Amino acid sequence: MKIGLRVLLGYFLIVAVAALLLVNVFVQQVKPGVRQAMEDTLADTANVLAELASDDLLAGRIDSGQFAGRIRAMGQREIRGKIWGQVKHAPSYRISVTDARGIVVYDSAGRDLGRDNSRWNDVHRTLRGEYGARSTRDDPDDEMSSVMYVAAPIRDGEGRIVGVLTVSKPNRSIQPFIERSQNVILRWGWVLLGSALLVGLLMAWWLSRQLAGLRRYADAVSAGQRASLPERGIEKPAGEFADLGRALESMRRQLDGKQYVEQYVHSLTHELKSPLAAIRAAAELLESPLPDADRARFAASIGSQSRRMATMVDKLLALAEVEHRQRIERPESLDIAALAREVVDDAASHAQAAQVRIEAHAGEGLPTLQGDAFLLRRMLANLVDNAIDFSPADGVVELYLQADADALRIEVADRGPGIPDYALERVFERFYSLPRPAGGNRSSGLGLNFVAEIAKLHGGHAQLQNRDGGGAVAKVILPLG
């Protein structure tokens, strides 16, 4: 399934579920909301009518007095009003009055006179001085036949409850308003879903279009064809696709014409020219008669240059192996202090020959480090050997091990000439090297690059900077845990 279709389906599913939930909540709330409003109106009406009916009830003429006449006149009114699209012809109220015992003494519909309503919730609670209301079906099997009853007390001059006036209204009369509101909500819900589908289609189309352009560009580059980055929607606007397009363009420029391979081979051949020239010159001289001292010197030169080339090849192989490893397969728990002591012991002869002293300083309570012992030993050895080569006679190479909160800090410092400003940003580049002090030969330029790759493989990083007072310090930060 294409990513555009996946995005469309996922987006539409989320919006559809949200819309359905929202519509369902609204629909479910419409009916109780309308009925609550109707009950509030009935409560006001019941209390107003209760005050109007009190005189006739107390005088014993509730069924034939002025109040009853007004209610009959109200029933004969023709409203002919259009309310929110619904035509209302006549009042739909029904009014009943019970005495203090709950017996119906007046019914505007004339059906329940003399009936005992004291058990109904509206009358029963009102006679007790509480708010009384109920909703009852006229036909138990018909949900639409329910009627809402709201009662109010009728009091005498001393505030005693002498009767109850109940106003009722069939819920069927508000059903058109409920259905109208629900239809409006459902209609707009479908509009929302349709809009979401349209937006999703546009989004999926745009996403597919961007990805298709980048894919065609990548396919063309992979096939070795000349291709330019798609302009519309990728290069000009900012955003993730623009960043991705620029990253692909940068990659194309680096790989175009096998630039990486050419640079690698060029650097390697450049580094091999010097030892090969020295070997060839010495070999040519050895073909002619020479004094024994010169013959021995040229033979030693051949051996030295051969070893230099062999060392370069070995380092290249080791570096290639590290660069191609994505992670350490079997990390070990290592005592970094013990590993550093081994490296210092191994470098003792090199330091003695260079008249340099090595001092190791390890912080207390160093935690174990998870990593590859062989690679970390090679990393430390490269740093120490490099510091020895750049240290002056009678100089000191200092090795520091210190654990921070979540990282191990390794520092190897010397008091040599330091790093020129122009070289600070390049010292970790492959084949980049600086001449040794006192006219010494350049190194292979692979040691510090090897250090950086090992640090990166262990999740850390390396850096090289100048020290205050002269010299340089190489730092490697490795995460713990």
Residue 94 and residue 188 in contact, taking contact as beta carbons nearer than 8 Å: no
- Among 365, 439, 378, which Cα is nearest to 404's? 365
Residue 239 in this model has a pLDDT that exceeds 80:
no
Residue 23 and residue 193 in contact, taking contact as beta carbons nearer than 8 Å: no
Residue 406 in this model has a pLDDT that exceeds 90:
no
Give the Cβ contact number of residue 187 at 10 Å. 11
Q: What is the structure's pLDDT at 322?
A: 57
User: What are the DSSP E strand ranges found in 266-406?
Assistant: 332-334, 357-362, 369-371, 396-403
Q: What is the structure's pLDDT at 375?
A: 81
DSSP 8-state symbol, 467: P
pLDDT band at 226 (very low <50, low <70, confident <90, very high): very low
Most confident of 187-191, 226-230, 349-353, 399-403: 399-403
Instruction: Flag the least confident range among 15-24, 104-113, 135-144.
Output: 15-24
User: Is the four-CA dihedral 296, 301, 307, 313 of positive or negative sign?
Assistant: negative
State mean pLDDT over 251-273: 55
pLDDT band at 237 (very low <50, low <70, confident <90, very high): very low
Global model pTM greater than 0.95: no
Residue 398 in this model has a pLDDT that exceeds 60:
yes
Amino acid at 202: L
Helix (H, G, I), strand (E, B) or coil at 396: strand
State mean pLDDT over 453-460: 83
Say how far apart CA 244 and CA 315 lie, in whole Å. Answer: 35
DSSP 8-state symbol, 2: -
Q: Which tokens is 140 given?
A: 């138990």
pLDDT band at 3 (very low <50, low <70, confident <90, very high): low
In the chain, what percentage of residues exceed pLDDT 90? 15
∠ Cα 444 446 450 (to 5°):
155
- Among 380, 442, 434, 435, which Cα is nearest to 412's? 380
Amino acid at 338: A
44 or 138, greater pLDDT = 44
In the chain, what percentage of residues exceed pLDDT 70? 72
Using the CB atoms, write b or e for 435-469: b if 16+ within 10 Å: eeeeeeeebbbbbbbbbbbbbebbbbebebeebee
Cα pseudo-dihedral 284, 288, 294, 300, rounded to 10:
40
Q: Which tokens is 12 given?
A: 């539409």
Residue 81 in this model has a pLDDT that exceeds 50:
yes
Residues 323-368: tens digit of each pLDDT: 555 566 677 888 888 888 888 888 888 888 888 899 988 877 788 8
- Among 425, 363, 358, which Cα is nearest to 391's? 358
pLDDT band at 215 (very low <50, low <70, confident <90, very high): confident
Say how far apart CA 7 and CA 449 lie, in whole Å. Answer: 43
Say how far apart CA 183 and CA 32 lie, in whole Å. Answer: 16
DSSP 8-state symbol, 234: I
Q: What is the structure's pLDDT at 234?
A: 47
206 CB-near residues (< 8 Å, 6+ apart): 233
Say how far apart CA 477 and CA 455 lie, in whole Å. Answer: 8
Q: What is the structure's pLDDT at 100?
A: 92
- Long-range contact set of residues 321-328: C-beta below 8 Å, sequence gap at least 24: 322/375, 322/450, 322/453, 322/454, 322/457, 323/453, 325/457, 327/457, 328/371, 328/372, 328/457, 328/458
State mean pLDDT over 120-131: 93
Residue 390 and residue 437 in contact, taking contact as beta carbons nearer than 8 Å: yes
Which residue ranges form the domains of the chain, and what is each CATH number?
3-180 (3.30.450.20), 325-479 (3.30.565.10)
299 CB-near residues (< 8 Å, 6+ apart): 282, 286
Instruction: Flag the least confident range among 17-31, 116-130, 197-211, 428-442.
Output: 428-442
Q: Which tokens is 26 given?
A: 């609204």
Q: Which tokens is 373 given?
A: 């012992």
Q: Which helix (H) or strand (E) holds 152?
A: strand 146-155
Residues 33-67: tens digit of each pLDDT: 777 888 888 999 999 999 999 999 998 898 888 99
Which backbone phi and psi does 230 adopt, to 5 degrees? -55, 135
State mean pLDDT over 220-237: 55
Q: For the chain, first and last CA: distance in Å?
A: 40
Say how far apart CA 251 and CA 245 lie, in whole Å. Answer: 10
Say how far apart CA 281 and CA 271 lie, in whole Å. Answer: 17
Q: Which helix (H) or strand (E) holds 478?
A: strand 472-479
With both helix axes pointing from N to C terminus, report the angle between 373-390 and 447-457 in degrees, rounded to the nearest 10: 150
Helix (H, G, I), strand (E, B) or coil at 256: helix
69 CB-near residues (< 8 Å, 6+ apart): none
